[in-house]
Amino acid sequence: MRCEYWKWGYGSVKNHSKSDSCLTYLKRNVTIATGRKSFPLGPKFLALTCFLAAAPFLASAQESAAPATEVSTVVTPADWGETVPAPAIPIPAPAAPAAVEPAPAEQARNQENSLPPAPAVDLTRPADDLWERIRSGFAMPDLDSPLVGVRERWYAGQPEYLARMVERSKLYLYYIVEEVQKRGMPTEIALLPMVESAFNPMAYSRSHASGLWQFIPSTGRNYKLNQNWWTDARRDIVASTNAALDYLQVLYQLHGDWQLALASYNWGENGVTRAVERNRAKGLPTNYQNLKMPSETRGYLPKLQALKNIISNPLGFGIQLEPIPNEPYFVTVPTPENMDVRIAAKLAEMSEQELIALNPAINRPVISGPHTQALVLPTDRMETFRRNLAAYDQPLASWQAYRMKRGDSLERLAAKHGIALSKLKLANGITWRTKVGAGFELLLPVKGTDAAIEPLPAVFRPPVLTPRRGGGIVHVVRKGETLYGISRRYRVSTDSLLRWNHVGTLTTGQRLIIYRGSGKARTSARPVKISAAQPKQDTVTTILPAERR
């Protein structure tokens, strides 16, 4: 920007930029001369001249300055090079800033800041529902197979079957999940008993696999699950769970893949290893989907995957999944020397059926201390059991062990101790195949007790290997039926029913093998389900030809 100033006399005006102060401009560019001789400006005149010359600059500076800043130009003696009093120009005080209305977003933030703080969420707090804990621990890769959809539809179409399985699992599932997570294993493993046994600890297969985890005898012995006359640890909840997890970890280390480990659990590690080696030799993939395997193993993982999908989103399948508390259901207490199952249940103030459900390894009506070191009880019954045991002053066992001598017979011993022969055989697990003679150990009722007349507890009864014969049928026990009524119906003796089936207390859905003569059943057959653990398609009529062995 260029400016021009008045010319005084012969004075000359030079160009000036805004960067020059007005006083510097006057000193440098204003010259006043009269005639031939110039004279210096007087102090008053010079001050007036400075003020008039600086006025346009002051106006321009005020126009271009920021609105919030007041600029004052103060003349100092340094600008003149001599002592000059500075002009007294009043400088107004800065005005108070106008009140600004906050923006809506800022108002919302201010309102949020005024609210009480939200409670902190503790992500480490355990879930109240055990299903939530299981879902959060899923870590196995999902199986992509059309068989998964088939099993999903089947399970979703059997809500009653799922409900019974979940109800049984409430007793054992917390302990299994706890042990699985202690080992850093995926929680899908905790669902495996659903596939193996439908969480029925008394499940027994044709290959003689037993318990929740379905150990066959040889594998059970390999993992220190003792099987003797008194107990079968394959059905022990604590021992079998630890053995199963040990076995699964060995299989995972062998294959480095959980799907192959589970296939080995079902088929056997040798079978899976051979299948992997065959595919590797042919240059084929060695994963689960591409191995050649039995149809049972091919459908094994899809069952587990289908259950995993349903538990992950039960409502999506129309399933109401009953909650399970995320807390221990049972504890273990030391077992006395010998104790009747009936008395143990009485001291714990629970039913015999509930006690056996937690102690399914027991084979006899007596809990033997040397063979059963710990008794499993519900958490809320432990103190009750201890208190009642301390106050109990009667014999804990109404049965005693006896080793048969030469000349002894079951008939004589039964008559001597006032017990029915069939009940004596049942209490001792004696079948037509059992060799009884001198040196055979059996249980006899203690004289003066009610053991001879009390009903036997419904401990585990393995299916009896029947001789090869024709005419055998299977009867499915209905609610309210008795051995006497069934024997009358099929025109056989009660003793024969006990001998053929090795049963004690009947339960609904139990299967009885019956061999009869030419007489026919008095009632017609109706379709019923074999048991709660069987699929819907495995329904049979009430009477079936017995399986030949």
The domain made up of 330-445 is a member of CATH 3.40.50.2300: no
d(C-alpha 359, C-alpha 373), whole Å? 12
Q: Which candidate in 196, 354, 481, 547 is catalytic? A: 196
The interaxial angle of helices 258-267 and 269-281, nearest 10 deg, is: 120
Residue 201 is encoded by which pair of tokens? 């600890």
pLDDT single digits (tens) 141-164: 999 999 999 999 999 999 999 999
DSSP 8-state assignment for residue 84: -
What is the distance between the terminal CA atoms of the chain, rounded to a whole angstrom?
Answer: 118
Write down the CATH number for the domain with range 130-317.
1.10.530.10
DSSP 8-state assignment for residue 475: E
d(C-alpha 361, C-alpha 237), whole Å? 8
Q: How far is CA 513 from CA 39, 50, 103, 422, 447, in A?
A: 146, 131, 85, 16, 34
Same fold? 130-317, 330-445: no
Average pLDDT, the chain: 77
Query: What is 472-545's CATH topology?
Result: Membrane-bound Lytic Murein Transglycosylase D; Chain A (3.10.350)
- pLDDT reading at 501 higher than 90: no
pLDDT given for residue 205 in this prediction: 85
pLDDT single digits (tens) 391-433: 999 999 999 999 999 999 999 999 999 999 989 998 998 888 8
* 196 catalytically annotated: yes
Comparing 290 with 433, the larger pLDDT belongs to 290
**Residues contacting 356, CB < 8 A, separation 6+:** 341, 362, 457, 458, 459
pTM higher than 0.85 for the full model?
A: no
Instruction: Give the number of other Cβ atoms within 10 Å of residue 57's Cβ.
Output: 17
Most confident of 93-102, 226-235, 446-455, 488-497: 226-235
pLDDT given for residue 90 in this prediction: 46
Q: Work out the average pLDDT over 127-146.
A: 95
Min mean pLDDT across 19-33, 264-278, 307-321 is at 19-33
Buried b (16+ CB within 10 A) or exposed e, 404-443: beeebebeebbeebebebbbbbbbbbbbeeeeeeeebebb
pLDDT given for residue 470 in this prediction: 52
Question: Which helix (H) or strand (E) element contains residue 273?
Answer: helix 269-281
| Domain extent listing, the chain | 1-92, 130-317, 330-445, 472-545
